[in-house]
A and B are shown apart, each in its own frame.
Chain A
Amino acid sequence: MDYFLTEEQLMIRDLARQIAEEKIVPVRAELDETGEFPWDVMKTIAQSDLFGLFIPEEYGGLGKGCLELCVAVEELSRACLGVSTSYAANALGTYPLLLFGTEDQKKRFLPDIAAGKRLVAFGLTEANAGSDAGGTQTTARLEGNEYVINGTKQWITNGGVAEIYTIIAITDRSKGPRGASAFVVEKGTPGFSFGKKENKMGIRASATTELIFDNCRVPRENLIGKDGAGFLVAMKTLDSSRTGVGAQGVGVAQGAFEEAVKFARKRVQFGHPVITFQAIQHMLADMATSIEAARALVYAVARFIDSGAKDVSKESAISKLYATDVAMKVTTDAVQVMGGSGYMKEYPVEKMMRDAKILQIYEGTNQIQRNVIGQALIKEFARSK
């Protein structure tokens, strides 16, 4: 379907697609097998300027918005979610600086991020703080002109490979949710190290590690936003990035769907290609319908965000929830359409199905998304009464 993308947006789509087809598809199975970080692909993405897509031109980026980022993420995800997760997590880690960073912080970090010279990671999750960010135990204590950070972040995407980390730590436990603050910490800072690399079910090309802070001292200028604004930074960051997870869902679903159609046209049973059977056609029709609905929703929400809307929590949650549930269903059905072949590693759909699962879990589980939507509904209807 034509979504009336501008010439520039089509250019972005075509370039991301070219990278996906020429540089990612040939290596995705191997990356999945070895779990190696796709440095070569990241280098290609850096050279293509895609890391700077959503970063303002004054900091070396292209000054585009959420829709352009979604279009790029979708195309990369169509080939490999492991790679697209590494790419999208870079945006996630950058948003705190983009949304709340001081001019000085922006000048210090954004040009290198836009050029793809340094990768970024966002650190919120901990062993006892996942869906419940209030359970955060990492602390940052102000000592003179320095914050001293202690604690461990868990399951951090781009952990170890990134050089810039935006993290949330408690600066004043007595203030509850208003006692958290956001910081930027650079790799190589004394007292900052990485735990083991996780062995994951899917998105195996992406790097996931612990971040360990042991009396890690960062200058006061590394505070992002106000002291005590940590949860606001985290929530606004997630509001901005969630639609991108939706775009990942659209992309992986599209990739799996195309594999299923290709296979169904070739696979002959009872003397006919299986695509001629109504049972298969109906499955493919349902897949095509839900992918198109998800894409329309993701693009619409992205455009809403780009319009400068103030509160986008509900809409971004809706796009993430729907598109990632579609991704799980469509990738599962793609395996089903392809039967035994779909289950084998010879074809990419079993990987896509394993990969898709994370989309329902990370950046807020889909249950949490429903909470976000539910709470927004309560507020909305209370106001309208």
Chain B
Amino acid sequence: MNMVVCIKQVPDTAEVRINPETNTLIRDGVPSIINPYDVHAIEAALQIREKAGGKVTALTMGPPQAEVALREALSMGVDDAALLTDRAFAGSDTWATAYTLSKAIQLLGADIILCGKQAIDGDTAQVGPEIAEFLDIPHISYIRKIDEAGGGRIVVQRLMDDGFDVIESSLPVLLTVVRELNVPRLPSLKGKMAAKKAMIRKLTAADIGAEESSLGLRGSPTQVKNIFAPESRKDRKMLEGTIEEKVEALVRELVGLKCL
């Protein structure tokens, strides 16, 4: 069983602020982490490997320093890591990113592709399903449990608002996972030591045989026009009490403001 886990290095958003002058993220001194949902995807792959055997490769696209995220994945126990890094990839939106990742996955070969449900910086939740579309394979998102994996099929539980669906799929398949799926293991010391020395495979646009017009800014149908922090409005009032008291207070307020 060949598995590829797509991970993303993201700033630890608990500590991210936006520069109000330039409307850009202040990344200085903000530690980078593996997108937390992706860590659950790594754990899921490792658990499948423990039961069904096989090989797990962590894949990311980013600047050379994204290697740190891959080494972290290696220290948790993935077998191999590949970094898509090329100037041609710069400025990719989710579409171009998914295209690029899908080309790499074709090269690596995979029966199961795992992604976090979304990244905590962009929050789009698009890249996983888009990869599946590019690869023309089924995808199941928001996986909360993997019941079976092996023998050319997989049975999973998909989290829904009002419960969960049990879905069986043939392989290859792409899964995106939620936190409920598992408790990720911490790295081991031997894993960390091996990860430090491990060779990380670098993949360029040429390596994956990508069409240049589909990459980076050129291949991105969407572009970010502006990022800004919404101004926090201070003139807010919290109403306290029972539901009845709060409703009464709210009506009084609205009448007072001549809204009613």
Which residues in A have some Cβ–Cβ distance to B below 8 Å? 7-8, 11-12, 15, 18-19, 22-23, 44, 47-50, 53, 62
Contacts and interface: CB of A to CB of B under 8 A. Distances in A.
A8 B187 contact: no
Contact of B189 (A7, A22, A62): A62
Interface residues of B, number: 10
Most buried by B among A7, A15, A22, A53: A15
A48 B192 CA distance: 10
Most buried by A among B186, B189, B192: B189
A19 to B, nearest CB: 6
A44 B186 contact: yes
A15 B187 contact: yes
A47 B185 contact: yes
A48 B193 contact: no
Contacts of B189: 11-12, 15, 48-50, 53, 62
Contacts of A22: 186
Contact of B186 (A8, A18, A53, A62): A18
B19 interface: no
Contacts of A49: 188-191
Interface string B182-209: 0001111111110010000000000000
Given A22-B186, A23-B186, 9 more contacts: A8-B193, A11-B193, A12-B189, A15-B186, A15-B187, A48-B187, A48-B189, A49-B190, A62-B190
A49 B193 CA distance: 11
Contacts of A53: 189
Interface in B61-83: none
B15 to A, nearest CB: 15
20 contacts: A11-B189, A11-B192, A11-B196, A12-B189, A15-B186, A15-B187, A15-B189, A15-B192, A23-B186, A47-B185, A47-B188, A48-B187, A48-B188, A48-B189, A49-B189, A49-B190, A49-B191, A50-B189, A62-B189, A62-B190
Nearest to A19: B186
Contacts of B193: 8, 11
**10 smallest beta-carbon distances between A and B, as pairs:** A49-B189, A49-B188, A49-B190, A48-B188, A11-B192, A48-B186, A18-B186, A15-B189, A47-B188, A48-B189
A48 B189 CA distance: 6
Nearest to B77: A47
Interface in B153-188: 185-188
A266 to B, nearest CB: 19
A19 B196 CA distance: 20
Nearest to A46: B188
Contacts of A44: 186
B187 to A, nearest CB: 7
A50 B186 CA distance: 12
A22 B187 CA distance: 12
B195 to A, nearest CB: 10
Contacts of B188: 47-49
Contacts of A12: 189
A185 B14 CA distance: 50
Contacts of A62: 189-190
Most buried by B among A11, A12, A22, A62: A11
A57 to B, nearest CB: 10
A15 B191 CA distance: 11
Contacts of B196: 7, 11
A48 B191 CA distance: 9
